[in-house]
A and B are shown apart, each in its own frame.
Chain A
């Protein structure tokens, strides 16, 4: 009889349900509620959802009117940082900043207030690893005297516990002889401190996007004059000389 179902078999079945059904079935019994609520089960369900064919992509327009109880005067500084289906919004008010996290699947949201208006920020939102129970938000404020120019829409790339942002040295933005390059600004999540500045082969005049390819940090940058995208990987982490061009991708016509 199905009453004999082991917890692991039940978890296997429940992990294949949609979130809406799962949340409703918390009302079945205390045992079901506790199984569905454990961190282990949540991670199991997340892994199944990510690997299933029926993933959803939420597209958010820049001028979206967010249907949440956020004040009208709020300026949504930027949108679209997401991790494991959780959306993180940073909202700037006159005197403070609010971080809103929303899980559209469960319709649960959490809000954190920061008692400073944070201008010119770089950000990252996510988990250090898929076994981690904790989601972290990293916000970076640019000091006026700082010589790095940040792209505010750069959301950071996690690699080996370190978040990376592609930035340009402010004094080289106007470098017309193309001798300087963009660098990666880093933040070590474990040590909670700013890390090394890592050189990249990207010319500051080219737009680049960093990522991870085959376990190496990578940069894809646009070369407008030649109408191609260059794909670079850093074979040995932190070693400038190990940047290797993987390929050129022609710009789509």
Chain B
């Protein structure tokens, strides 16, 4: 119908904490998950996104609008992505990688996972366990053995309380 009136189609997305967002269909279909819904004709009303909270969804929509406004110029898109992610902390990046995976947005997924990898550079084992919420399931002997095997990789690691 929108095509007939000449106005761009707008979709309404709902986060898992019941926030509603309006976004242009042309930007939203960067998400394969949403595109499939649109193509199957199930995007008429509100699209519930059960795995994404409002704060993260707002950020993803900012990205969708920003990147889709850039014409087909991979250099410019890349510099937009770099700038977009530059001020995000680890927790935000973690939420975004989960959202990008759920929404099936490969370009965002690629950029966020690269950014997370960049943040993890030179970090201690303790830092990774804390940030990723991982429980150490090694016995002290096993852990000492694994560390001993790759001893040189512990040189030049950023100092951390429980490294």
Contact = CB atoms under 8 A, between A and B. Distances in A.
B113 A16 contact: yes
B116 A13 contact: yes
Nearest to A25: B128
B20 interface: no
A9 B138 contact: no
Contact of A6 (B101, B113, B136, B154): B101
Nearest to B147: A27
Interface in B142-156: 142-143, 146-147, 150, 152-154
A6 B101 CA distance: 9
Contacts of A21: 120-123, 153
Contacts of B97: 2, 5, 9, 13
Nearest to A18: B121
Main secondary structure of the interface of A (DSSP, over half): helix
A26 B117 contact: no
Interface string A23-35: 1111111111100
B109 A20 contact: no
Given A28-B125, A29-B129, A23 B153 contact: yes
B44 interface: no
Given A2-B98, A24-B125, A107-B152, A17 B131 contact: no
Contacts of B118: 16
B89 interface: no
A182 to B, nearest CB: 44
A32 B146 CA distance: 12
A2 to B, nearest CB: 4
Given A2-B94, A4-B98, A28 B121 contact: no
Nearest to A52: B114
Interface string A147-167: 000000000000000000000
A12 B117 CA distance: 9
Contacts of B146: 26-27, 33
Contacts of B113: 9, 12-13, 16
A29 B147 contact: no
A31 B129 CA distance: 12
Nearest to B145: A27
A9 B150 contact: no
A19 B137 CA distance: 23
B74 interface: no
Given A2-B98, A9-B113, A25-B128, A17 B121 contact: yes
A2 B132 CA distance: 6
Nearest to B95: A2
Nearest to B94: A2
Contact of B117 (A5, A14, A33, A107): A14
A33 B134 CA distance: 13
A29 B101 CA distance: 23
A3 interface: yes
A25 B128 CA distance: 8
A27 B148 CA distance: 10
Contacts of B120: 13, 17, 21, 25
Contact of A23 (B114, B129, B150): B150
A64 interface: no
A29 B120 CA distance: 16
B101 A1 contact: no
Interface string A217-252: 000000000000000000000000000000000000
Interface of A: 1-6, 9, 12-14, 16-18, 20-21, 23-33, 107
Query: What 5 pairs across the A-B complex have the smallest Cβ distances?
Result: A16-B117, A2-B94, A24-B153, A3-B133, A23-B150
